[in-house]
Amino acid sequence: MNFDLDSVHKSAIEIARKGGEHTLNYFNRSFEVERKSDDSPVTVADREAETIMREEIMQQFPDHGIVGEEHEDLNPDSSVQWILDPIDGTKSFIHGVPLYTTLIGVVVDQQPVAGIIYAPALEELCDAANGKGARLNGEPCSVRSCDELAKASFMSTDCYTSATFNYGDAFDSLVDQTRIHRTWGDAYGHMLVATGRADLMFDPILNIWDAAPLMTVLQEAGGVFCDTEGNETIQSGNGFSCSRELMPKVLEVFKNNY
Per-domain boundaries in the chain: 5-140, 149-256
Q: Name the CATH topology of 149-256.
A: D-Maltodextrin-Binding Protein; domain 2 (3.40.190)
Hey, which residues does 68 pair with through a beta bridge?
84
pTM score? 0.95
pLDDT digits (tens, 9 = 90+) for 15-37: 999 999 999 999 988 666 666 65
Alpha-carbon torsion 214, 220, 222, 227, what sign? positive
Architecture of domain 5-140: 2-Layer Sandwich (3.30)
d(Cα 16, Cα 116) in Å, to the nearest integer?
7
44 band by pLDDT with thresholds 50, 70 and 90: confident
C-alpha angle 181-103-192 in degrees, rounded to nearest 5: 25
Looking at residue 148, its pLDDT comes to 97
65 band by pLDDT with thresholds 50, 70 and 90: very high
258 band by pLDDT with thresholds 50, 70 and 90: confident
Looking at residue 41, its pLDDT comes to 66
Which H or E run contains 15?
A: helix 5-23
d(Cα 100, Cα 128) in Å, to the nearest integer?
19
Over range 184-199, report the average pLDDT: 97
Q: What is the dihedral of CA 242, 248, 251, 253, to 10 degrees?
A: -100
Looking at residue 29, its pLDDT comes to 82
d(Cα 219, Cα 194) in Å, to the nearest integer?
9
Alpha helices in 61-167, H assignment, sequence order: 90-94, 161-164
Contact residues for 14 (Cβ-Cβ < 8 A; gap 6+): 56
CA 148 to chain centre: 24
pLDDT digits (tens, 9 = 90+) for 194-227: 999 999 999 999 999 999 999 999 999 999 999 9
Which amino acid belongs to residue 231? N
